[in-house]
Structure 1
Amino acid sequence: MNNILTGAAMGAALTTAGVYAPDIILSQFKFTDFTMLQTFLSAAAGSTLLVTAAQTLQLTTLPPRGASSLFGCCRYDGNLAGGALLGAGMAISGACPGTVLAQLGVGVASGRYALAGAVTAGVAWSWIVRRRKNRVSAPCSASVGGGKENDGKEGVDKTGKGRQQECEQGETVYELLGVSRGALLVGLEAVLVLAVAAAARYTNAGAAEARGLPPYYAGLAIAAAQLVSIVLRGSLLGASSAFEDIGGWLWGARKYANVLFSAGVVGGAWLISRAVPALRPVTEVAISPARSFLGGFMIVLGSRMAGGCTSGHGISGLSLMSVSSFLTAAAIFGVGGLTGVLLG
């Protein structure tokens, strides 16, 4: 029940924020409207404060998100490649692993095709992981798992001490820089606040408010969903593992916690959009079924390669000040922006 309630809080927050909408996502990657970025940065700022407080008070003992090394090029090659694929997929489909669930709840047509692609990618990735595990027995060879934490789930293990990826343990930015967590927190919050202010100059605030909350309040609503996750589950938000878990059902793996969370996201989006009809889009941006399916496939495949998505890395991982999450987020927005510009 806690997973469903947490998912419902996340789904309601995404819908109220309006960032579930494909046109908001596509406009961000075309650099015509910065509503998504301003909301994302506000959510990261609020979530970082909450998570740091929870860690300091020992309400949670979550480790930084692990590095994903897939190709042997460098420690974070999976984060960079996966983040790039995820960003490109978002620019193609107007969805990410979390928002595609909200789109399903609200009733966005393109979201159904993107979801089909996402589930297909989950099946494919679970097969890849299963095949890899059957072929090699050495723990360090299993890095194809993509840096997943907590026994392959994003935010389920209440102690935060679940199985880590054996070879690629997580590292924080303050450890890398050799500074205190408090000093980095102050610096990071200052940078995020300034970035939110800068993004406001390029944000169509009127359109965002007409659909829900102003972007900075919307970001704080998503941070509030993070608080719900901490209180109810002792863990952080993340959406993409559910698609791998669904794929794993074909091979006999029965994991339900992440799937229940995802069902909650759909339900929360459905409830809030019915209670407040203005949150539903009046018109939808035209995205072909083939494009939606392709983008949906890319967002989940990229997320699993990176070991997390825009919520797992972009919100939760940044809140833990994980090096892997900063690199993944940079790849998402960098390649997503390039793809958006190329697609016009």
Structure 2
Amino acid sequence: MNNFITGAAMGAALTTAGVYAPDIILSQFKFQDFTMLQTFLSAAAGSTLVVTAAQTLHLTALPPRPCASLGLGCLGTRYDGNLLGGALLGAGMAVSGACPGTVLAQLGVGVASGRWALAGTVLGGVVWSGIVKGWRRGGGFGSAREQQGTGTVGRGAAEGDGKKKMKEEAREAEMPLTVYDALGVSRGALLVGLEAVLVLGVAACARFANAGAAEARGVPPYLGGLAIAAAQLVSIVLRGSLLGASTGFEELGGWVWGASRKYANVLFSAGVVAGAWIISAAVPALRPITDVAVSPARSVLGGFMIVFGSRMAGGCTSGHGISGLSLMSISSFLTAAAIFGAGGVTGLLMG
């Protein structure tokens, strides 16, 4: 029940902020309206304060987000999954006008394109859970283990590869996962600097946000962002964990393949839909102002991209973009940069 309630809080917050609406998302990646970015930065600033306070008061001891390594030598970094997955997620957002969290809110509010995007997200979860995860367990993404059993790699080579992998994991365990560790500064010092940058970013975005749209909804973007931060607090209090939406689609995909019977994140997703439906029914002004026509094919494709990219990166716009930044995780900063970078390029190319 705690997962459902937390999801409802997030769904209500996303709907109140208005960032679930396809026109807000698509306008951001076309650089026409910075309402989405202003809300995102406000949410990140508020969530960082909430998470830091919870850790300082020993209410929770959440570890930083690890890197999402695909083992691809071409990028020369253990963050290749964060970069490639984040880029795919951002491009998918610019295609569909949705992300793993907002597509659920769209379903609750009744956005037509959201239903098609949801079909794509479910497909992405099924493909990831049943095909890609199994391939990775078998040694995919460039590992020598994928050749075991084919006669091309002998037992000695496999054992040597295993020892090499253990050494690599040991080295990675010694590498910093947070920005403050990487920079050699205290968490408090980075907190002050990060909050200052985020607040300045919110102020800068205000110059390019559609004030009329925000006023029509009755909620300024920065207050919408703080509502999302409040949902983060609910998540910490009720679940002891942070917000994240894409895992629910992977969990659902596991159901389809009969590989998993977990349901906590699916309950969270159902809560997001319910929370969006309840708040939009109670306050009709929160419903979309502009009915942006996103074709079914485009919505399905984008929906697939956002979930597949999220799972590749190990988190989505909420898991990395809000929660991961709050933990000051290096992987989350890189993922967020890839999301907005690739989303912006895709939005401009699509006109």
Structure 1 and Structure 2 fold alike (TM over 0.5)? yes
Q: CA RMSD in A?
A: 1.7
Does residue 236 (structure 1) correspond to residue 242 (structure 2)? The answer is yes
Residues 1:22 and 2:28 are matched in the alignment: no
The question of 1:211 aligning with 2:217 is answered: yes
Q: Deviations over 1:135-185 (max 9, x none)?
A: 259xx999xxxxxxxxxxxxxxxxxxxxxxx77667000000000000000
Determine the structure 1 residue equivalent to 2:334: 327
Alignment of 1:75-224 (within 5 A): 75-132=78-135, 135-136=138-139, 171-224=177-230
Contiguous gaps of at least 5 residues in structure 2: 146-168
Which residue identity does 1:89 align to in structure 2?
A: G
Task: State how 1:38-53 maps to structure 2 within 5 Å.
Answer: 38-53=38-53
Shift of 1:132: 2.6
Name the residue aligned to 2:31. 31
Aligned to 1:287: 294
Kept in 1: contact 2:213–2:289 (CA 8 A): no
**Runs of 4+ in structure 1 over 3 Å off:** 166-170
- Name the counterpart of 1:146: none
Please state how far the C-alpha of 1:266 moved relative to its aligned partner.
0.1
> In structure 2, how many angstroms separate the alpha carbons of the residues matched to 1:318 and 1:16?
22
Q: Distance in 2 between matches of 1:199 and 1:133?
A: 40
Greater CA radius of gyration, 1 or 2?
Answer: 2
C-alpha separation between the residues in 2 aligned to 1:272 and 1:245?
26
In the alignment, the residues of structure 1 paired with residue 179 and residue 65 of structure 2 have an alpha-carbon distance, to the nearest angstrom, of 11
Q: Measure, in 2, the Cα distance between the counterparts of 1:63 and 1:263.
A: 26
Gaps of 5+ in 1: 143-165
Alpha-carbon contact 1:91-1:340 (below 8 Å) kept: yes
**Partner Cα distance (2:134, 2:144) in 1:** 12
Could you say what secondary structure the match of 2:100 adopts? coil
Return the TM-score normalized by structure 2.
0.88
* SS class of match (1:324): helix
1:113 partner SS? helix
**1:245 aligns to 2:248 (yes or no):** no
Distance 1:110 1:141 in 2: 42
Say how many residue pairs are matched: 319
The one-character-per-residue Cα deviations of 1:286-317 (angstroms, maximum 9, x if unpaired) are: 11000000000000000000000000000000
Q: CA shift at 1:129, angstroms?
A: 4.2
Give the match's secondary structure for 2:126.
helix
Amino acid at match of 2:236: I
Q: Structure 1 residues 264 and 71 mapped into 2: Cα distance closer, same or farther (>3 Å)?
A: same
SS of the equivalent of 1:281 reads coil
Is the Cα–Cα contact under 8 Å of residues 64 and 327 in structure 2 kept in the other structure? yes
* Deviation, structure 1 residue 281: 1.8
Task: Check whether the contact 1:28–1:37 (CA below 8 A) recurs between aligned residues.
Answer: yes
